[in-house]
């Protein structure tokens, strides 16, 4: 009887010890770094390419084993891709309208930057463009963004405010595409964001119009609900909205939220 009781006591002790050990492992694993390589998928508006590439590099330095995969395109295009199942842990839009289109999939949208339009031309402004009205001058080939894209929506707003409808030769899917057509000589002028013009440097000349200041695009960022790395995505959002991310954005010409 004593032998059987001793065996029972030993088994109970081993069971308790096993449970304690398991609890300890769970606690440590929840706070530990990823056990293997992790890819954080970030979809961002085309106008954020330079700044988010820099921010992603900083994020990777702070998170060993994490690679940030960046996807840049027009905000409307990115929303459609996410809705169709494209991998995205974080989405950054160039306007609130397209963030709203993501609906419940967008968790905690936060405005992190602002931007306005500007006219870009070939260096030296050979066509003598001085205002948005001049984009319709004879012999001037102008390109703009599609209305579904934030840059196109902003263009529509400027047109409404000024009563000037730009007779565009083409409507592009992203602000980057508009800039490329101007820098490559395929167009004489285009409507892009201030930050895109700044990134182009001496490849373009810029022309402002008072009407541009009245149309300000607000950039929201959010994690994507149900994404594989939503928690890690929140840390990326914190970097963008924090001091380090904001400095990168300010240096590139983006306005404050």
pLDDT at 142: 98
Residue ranges for the known binding site are 47, 75, 175, 193
User: Mind listing the pLDDT tens digit for each residue in 236-251?
Assistant: 999 999 999 999 999 9
Which residues carry a binding-site annotation for molybdate?
47, 75, 175, 193
Q: Do domains 38-113+219-251 and 117-214 have the same CATH topology?
A: yes
**How many C-alpha atoms does 228 have within 13 Å on its Cβ side?**
9
DSSP assignment of 184-230, as one string?
A: TTS-SEEEEEHHHHHHHGGG-EEE--GGGGG--EEEEEEEETT-TTH
Above pLDDT 90, what percent of the chain?
86
C-alpha dihedral (89, 73, 254, 160), degrees to nearest 10 = -120
Query: Which fold would CATH assign to domain 117-214?
Result: D-Maltodextrin-Binding Protein; domain 2 (3.40.190)
Query: What are the pLDDT digits (tens) for 148-206?
Result: 999 999 999 999 999 999 999 999 999 999 999 999 999 999 999 999 999 999 999 99
How do the domains of the chain map onto residue ranges? 38-113+219-251, 117-214
- Mean pLDDT, the chain, whole residue set: 89
Q: How confident is the model at residue 11 (pLDDT cuts 50, 70, 90)?
A: very low
Q: What is the pLDDT of residues 91-106, one digit of tens each?
A: 999 999 999 999 999 9
What pLDDT, on a 0 to 100 scale, did the predictor assign at position 34? 58
Each residue's pLDDT tens digit, 28-60: 333 345 567 999 999 999 999 999 999 999 999
**For position 36, what pLDDT does the model report?**
72
CATH architecture of 38-113+219-251: 3-Layer(aba) Sandwich (3.40)
């Amino acid at each position: 009887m004593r032998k059987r009781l001793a065996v029972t006591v030993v088994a109970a002790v081993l069971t308790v010890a096993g449970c304690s050990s398991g609890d300890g492992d769970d606690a440590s694993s929840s706070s530990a770094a990823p056990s293997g390589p992790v890819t954080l998928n970030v979809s961002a508006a085309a106008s954020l390419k330079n700044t988010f590439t820099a921010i992603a590099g900083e994020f990777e330095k702070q998170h060993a084993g994490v690679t940030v995969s960046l996807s840049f395109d027009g905000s409307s295009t990115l929303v459609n891709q996410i809705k169709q199942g494209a991998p995205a842990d974080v989405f950054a839009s160039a306007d609130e309208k397209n963030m709203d289109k993501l609906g419940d999939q967008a968790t905690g949208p936060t405005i992190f930057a602002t931007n306005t339009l500007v006219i870009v031309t070939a260096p030296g402004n050979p066509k003598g463009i001085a205002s948005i009205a001049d984009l319709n001058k004879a012999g001037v080939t102008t390109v703009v963004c599609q209305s579904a894209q934030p840059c196109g929506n902003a263009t529509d707003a400027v047109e409404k405010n000024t009563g000037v409808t730009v007779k565009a030769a083409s409507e592009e899917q992203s602000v980057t595409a508009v800039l490329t057509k101007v820098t490559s000589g395929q167009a004489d002028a285009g409507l892009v964001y201030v930050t895109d013009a700044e990134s182009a440097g001496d490849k373009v000349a810029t022309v402002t119009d008072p009407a541009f200041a009245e149309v300000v695009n607000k950039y929201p960022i959010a994690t994507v609900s149900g994404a594989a790395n939503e928690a890690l995505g929140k840390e990326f959002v914190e970097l963008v909205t924090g001091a380090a991310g904001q400095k990168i954005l300010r240096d590139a010409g983006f306005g404050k939220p």
